[in-house]
Amino acid sequence: MKAWNADFTKKIEKEVARLQNLGWYHSFELPDGQVIPGIQTLAQLRNRLRQFPVPQDLRGKRVLDIGAWDGWFSFEMEKRGASVVAVDAVQSEKFLIARELLGSKVEFVLSDVYDLNPAELGNFDVILFLGVLYHLKHPLLALEKVCALATDLVCVESYVTDEGKKRNRKPCMEFYETTELGGQFDNWVGPNVACLLSFCRAAGFARCSLESVIHNRAHVTCCRKWDRQAGSEEPPYVVGVENSASHDQTFAANRDEYVSIWFKSSHGKLGDSDVFPEIGEYGARPALVLSTGHDGWHAVVKVPPGLSPGWHELKIRVRDSAYSNVVRIGVGVPAPERRQRGVATTEESALKIESLGDGKTWERNQVRMRPAACISLWVRGLPPVCGAADVIVRLNGNDLQSSFVSEADSAGVRQVNALLPSWLPAGKTSVTIAVESSVAEPVDVEILPGP
């Protein structure tokens, strides 16, 4: 912050009267104790921020203030030690004046919220999204953009149509075509509390909690990571994953896509609050959890916004269980790179597929598509201590989790089974086996249409 001397103080004293006539929305306390009054008092601003669990010490953290306007929240984050970027769709002269008066180094970016992306701005430890949502025609899209920029904490404040104990539990939202809300043209939507929370969950945050509602302003804390550590109970086992819409294993990096996860768990009566998937470094809240019978389960989760193109680990836990086996999914990975994953890692790989066939009819070198179609491979060179969780069946570069690995026979060959995805088209394709970084030479398999 700026070093204050007598000359600079005199300059400020001459300016204070002029500054007070500029029509400030935020109030500011200057280093010499003088206050520039705004519509929002210092007490009101501090109370708004107090609704969220923002640490007092933000040294080493990056903070993004979206809809900064006059900039009080930006400068407050800087006082706490953060490196701060302030964003607004219009550049306020008062923000620039306040930044000069405070000797601030806050970076200002002129941008619409829909244009924000981590490739240009990077990611942020804390994001303030205060008093912005109801000014937007596309609130859910905006929240997805915000989620993609965050590594963990996002503070969302919005006008809501209900408060008090008699809130409507059904998510609903009012739309204001002109000036119905407060006589202001750029007030577009009025969600109720339930709708605001639904928006935040649907945008891709792992956890969302309502902190308070004060004078029709709701304060919601959104986090990208789970707050519970893995336990010691028996872990679930991921049997397979696929794109919920296209039923293949391709996922775009910048689209609204969902993953279907099939897993086995001995825990009964699981709901969406009992299942904790992770993709990459982020939690992925289930949109759906269904029993498939016996110990089988199906969960559908949104691909976390902001994942960089590449291969990401997917794992899951339930209640107080340990984490499951890891399955890797490719996000924004082109087809040539997927196929390259099926190439052997060395000319003399220890892994070798001796033969393969249909896991139900035992027909050699072919598998017929039907419900729960299964491929069986007989493999030499698997590690002595090796189970289904350790072996990946790689079909045309896409990973399928093995469902069964036998003990070795007298010749050292082991049987590996994997369920085939329903999307698999008829025709020839290649299949291989991968254990950690070791990949066997691929072999061809004929996929036949079902009966």
Q: State the SS3 of 286-339.
A: EEEEEEEECCEEEEEEECCCCCCCEEEEEEEEECCECCCCCEEEEECCCHHHHH
Domain that holds residue 440: 344-448
Strand-pairing partners, residue 430, are 444
List Cα–Cα distances, 261 to 272, 291, 328, 330, 363, in angstroms.
13, 12, 12, 14, 29
CA–CA separation, 340 and 333 (whole Å)? 11
- 156 in any annotated domain: yes
Q: Look at strands 35-36 and 237-243 and give their pairing.
A: unpaired
User: Is residue 4 over pLDDT 60?
Assistant: no
List Cα–Cα distances, 66 to 89, 96, 124, 184, 255, in angstroms.
9, 16, 12, 20, 22
Give how many domains the chain has, as a whole number: 3
Average pLDDT over residues 282-300: 94
CB-based burial of residue 450 (10 Å sphere; 0-12 exposed, 13-18 middle, 19+ buried)?
exposed
Q: Look at strands 62-66 and 83-88 and give their pairing.
A: parallel
- Shared-domain flag, residues 253 and 368: no
Taking alpha carbons only, the member of 440, 425, 348, 428 closest to residue 393 is 440
User: Is residue 344 over pLDDT 70?
Assistant: no
Per-residue confidence (pLDDT) for residue 315, from 0 to 100: 96
Helix and strand counts by DSSP (H, E) for the chain: 8, 30
Bigger pLDDT: 267 or 81?
81
- Shared-domain flag, residues 44 and 120: yes
CB 262 within 8 A of CB 298: yes
- 411 in any annotated domain: yes
- 232 in any annotated domain: no
Per-residue confidence (pLDDT) for residue 336, from 0 to 100: 80
Task: Enter the pTM of the model.
Answer: 0.83
Q: What are the tens digits of pLDDT across the range 219-238? A: 999 999 999 888 899 999 99
- Shared-domain flag, residues 390 and 410: yes
Token pair recorded at residue 449: 């249409």
- 399 in any annotated domain: yes
> What is the largest distance, in Å, between two alpha-carbon atoms of the chain?
94
DSSP run (H or E) holding 18: helix 6-20
- Shared-domain flag, residues 217 and 273: no
Query: In the structure, what pLDDT confidence band is assigned to residue 1 with cuts at 50, 70 and 90?
Result: very low
CATH of the domain at 116: 3.40.50.150
Q: What are the tens digits of pLDDT across the range 84-142? A: 999 999 988 899 999 999 999 999 999 999 999 999 999 999 999 999 999 999 999 99
- Shared-domain flag, residues 408 and 295: no
What percent of the chain clears pLDDT 90, i.e. is strictly above it?
A: 69
- 338 in any annotated domain: no
> Which residue, of 333, 361, 379, is where some domain finishes?
333
Q: What are the tens digits of pLDDT across the range 52-77? A: 999 999 999 999 999 999 999 999 99
- 384 in any annotated domain: yes
Q: What are the tens digits of pLDDT across the range 7-18? A: 655 655 665 556
CB 301 within 8 A of CB 243: no
- Shared-domain flag, residues 281 and 175: no
Q: What are the strands, taking DSSP E only, across 188-236?
A: 189-191, 207-214, 217-223
CATH of the domain at 359: 2.60.40.10
- Shared-domain flag, residues 49 and 169: yes
Average pLDDT over residues 315-321: 95
- 231 in any annotated domain: no
- 230 in any annotated domain: no
Per-residue confidence (pLDDT) for residue 399, from 0 to 100: 86
- Shared-domain flag, residues 54 and 157: yes
Token pair recorded at residue 101: 């008066």
Token pair recorded at residue 355: 């033969």
Sheet containing strand 258-264, strands side by side:
237-243, 258-264, 296-302, 286-293
User: Is residue 263 over pLDDT 80?
Assistant: yes
- Shared-domain flag, residues 198 and 272: no
- Shared-domain flag, residues 297 and 375: no
